Amino acid sequence: MHKWNRLSFLLPSIGLVALGAACGGSSSSSSGSLGPGYYISISNLTYSPLNLEAPPGATVTVLNFDSPMAHSVTSEAVPATYEHNTTGISFDTGAISGTSGSFALPMTAPAGTVLNFYCTQHLATMLTPNGTITVNPNAQPSQPPPNPGGGYVGY
C-alpha cells in the first residue's frame, strides 16, 4: 500500500513532464518564425519604428499586434493630410485585420527618398498617426519585434 501511494503521487507529475516535453516546453510569439527583414509593427495604435530605413526592392512586413482591429500602412501624399499617394512611389497593405501584411519598395526607388505613410482605418486617431520609410541602399534587416502581448508599445 505504501508503494502504491508513492506511485500515485508521481503519476500526475510524470504526466505533466511528458506534456511539457511534447509541447516543446516554451511559448513563441506570432513573429517567432520570421527571420531578419524590414518590419513595421503596430501595437496600441502606435507604429514602430516611426522611421524605417529599407533598401530599394525590399519587402516591408507590417505586423499588426492590435489584431483583430484593422490597420494599414499606406503611402501618404503629404504628411498629416491622410490622402493616399497615387503618384511616384505608392504602396498600400490594405486593411490588415489579421496579423500581418506586406508590400515591396520598387527597385528604382532613389536613395534618400522619404516616403510618408498613415493608417487608412484610423487617420489622425492613431497615437503615432504618421511614419516614414527612408530609402537607404545600405539599410540592414532586423529581427521582427517580439509580440508585445498587450500593453507593450514600441520595440
List of domains in the chain: 38-135 (2.60.40.420)
Question: What pLDDT sits at residue 149?
Answer: 62
pLDDT by residue (tens digit) across 54-100?
999 999 999 999 989 999 999 999 999 999 998 889 999 999 998 99
Separation between Cα atoms, residue 101 and residue 54, nearest integer Å: 16
Would the pLDDT of 21 be above 70? no
Question: What pLDDT sits at residue 16?
Answer: 34
Average pLDDT over residues 3-13: 42
Does the pTM of the predicted model rise above 0.85?
A: no
What is the band of 147 on the pLDDT scale with cuts at 50, 70, 90?
confident
Three-state secondary structure call for residue 61: strand
Burial class (CB in 10 A: 0-12, 13-18, 19+), 142: middle
Three-state secondary structure call for residue 54: strand
Question: What pLDDT sits at residue 88?
Answer: 87
pLDDT by residue (tens digit) across 39-55?
999 999 999 999 999 99
Looking up cell 524590414 gives 38
Q: Which of 57, 68, 59 lies closest to 30 in space, CA to CA?
A: 68
